[in-house]
């Protein structure tokens, strides 16, 4: 060792490269384990997980840790926790609401421009209309008619109008029978609702136009005419977007990052 040549370094540095390592927390370990089992279908929906104190015995972890794991799963929409006797953690499948929540957080957190929201809707919704025209059932049509009626009836109340509007758009997405698109549209509609809530551009004229457009789109869906549905929906959301942006122009939800 000591007799190495003088010009060489005594030891070779950086011979191995390591990346930062993650040390999982106990609660994460348990949460991951339970999550995998749930998603693998090992526990059907509605199954009651063991009581916390039972999990403590089984896992040899403390109740604090067990509870944190359950809380993680609850936030992720994988279990619903009920109190009282015969309560506990019941297995649930994440639904559109959990995606909607997460997309809303992204929208609010990233200060997404209203223009970006409307653009995204222009991308998604015509396609929803196309699928709806293909797959709609009578139940779907009922929902569409009902929501559009609510829009026409919403005299005065802006909130009422906007909510009915959201309902109609979500109904279109539902009629597409694509759970993912439905989840995305739910989130998007709610976010647009929230963003346009304070606008006064929703006047009687806009409402009439909206009802008319919705009716025409609904008819295309009823007639199972995908091309007409996609065309009309495209025009509708594009016109709506232009109208909103014309009014807003400088009053975006927030300043865009880039």
List interacting residues with a copy of itself (CB under 8 A).
Answer: 27, 38-39, 41, 64, 67-68, 71-72, 75-78, 93-96, 98-99, 101-103, 105-112, 116-117, 119-120, 122-124, 126-128, 131, 177-181, 183-184, 254, 257-258
Q: Which among 18-26, 37-45, 97-105, 127-135 is the span making contact with DNA, rule CB under 7 A? A: 18-26
* Site map (CB under 7 A) of DNA, residues 46-85, x = contact: -----xxx--x---xxxxxx-xx------------xxxxx
- Of 56 and 116, CB closest to DNA: 56
Backbone φ and ψ of 188, nearest 5°: -65, -45
- Of 52 and 145, CB closest to DNA: 52
Q: What residue spans of 78-203 are helical by DSSP H?
A: 96-109, 114-135, 138-153, 158-175, 179-196
Residue 23 engages DNA in binding (rule: CB under 7 A): yes
Integer Cα distance of 118 and 192 in angstroms: 8
Pick what 242 binds: a copy of itself, DNA, none; C-beta below 5 to 8 Å, kind-dependent: none
Residue 13 engages DNA in binding (rule: CB under 7 A): yes
Residue 25 engages DNA in binding (rule: CB under 7 A): yes
Integer Cα distance of 124 and 93 in angstroms: 24
Integer Cα distance of 240 and 238 in angstroms: 5
Task: Count how many residues are written for the chain.
Answer: 258
Closest-CA residue to 225 (of 136, 148, 122): 136
């Amino acid at each position: 060792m000591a007799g190495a040549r003088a010009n060489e370094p005594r030891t070779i540095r950086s011979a191995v490269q390591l990346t930062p390592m993650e040390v999982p927390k106990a609660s994460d370990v348990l949460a991951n384990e339970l999550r995998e089992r749930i998603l693998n279908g090992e526990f059907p929906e509605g199954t009651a997980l063991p009581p916390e104190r039972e999990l403590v015995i089984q896992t040899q972890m403390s109740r604090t840790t067990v509870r944190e794991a359950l809380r993680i799963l609850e936030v992720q929409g994988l279990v619903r926790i009920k109190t009282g006797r015969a309560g506990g953690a019941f297995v649930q499948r994440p639904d559109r609401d959990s995606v909607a929540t997460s997309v809303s957080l992204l929208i609010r957190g990233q200060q997404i421009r209203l223009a970006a929201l409307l653009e995204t809707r222009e991308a998604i919704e015509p396609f929803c209309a196309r699928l709806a025209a293909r797959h709609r059932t009578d139940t779907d049509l009922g929902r569409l008619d009902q929501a559009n009626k609510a829009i026409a009836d919403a005299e005065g109340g802006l909130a009422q109008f906007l909510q009915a509007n959201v309902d109609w758009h979500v109904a279109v997405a539902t009629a597409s029978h694509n759970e993912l698109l439905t989840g995305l549209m739910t989130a998007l509609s709610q976010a647009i609702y929230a963003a346009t809530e304070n606008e006064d551009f929703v006047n009687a004229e806009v409402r009439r136009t909206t009802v008319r457009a919705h009716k025409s789109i609904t008819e295309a869906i009823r007639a199972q005419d995908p091309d007409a549905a996609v065309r009309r929906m495209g025009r509708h959301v594009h016109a709506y977007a232009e109208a909103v942006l014309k009014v807003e122009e400088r009053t975006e939800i927030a300043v865009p990052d880039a």
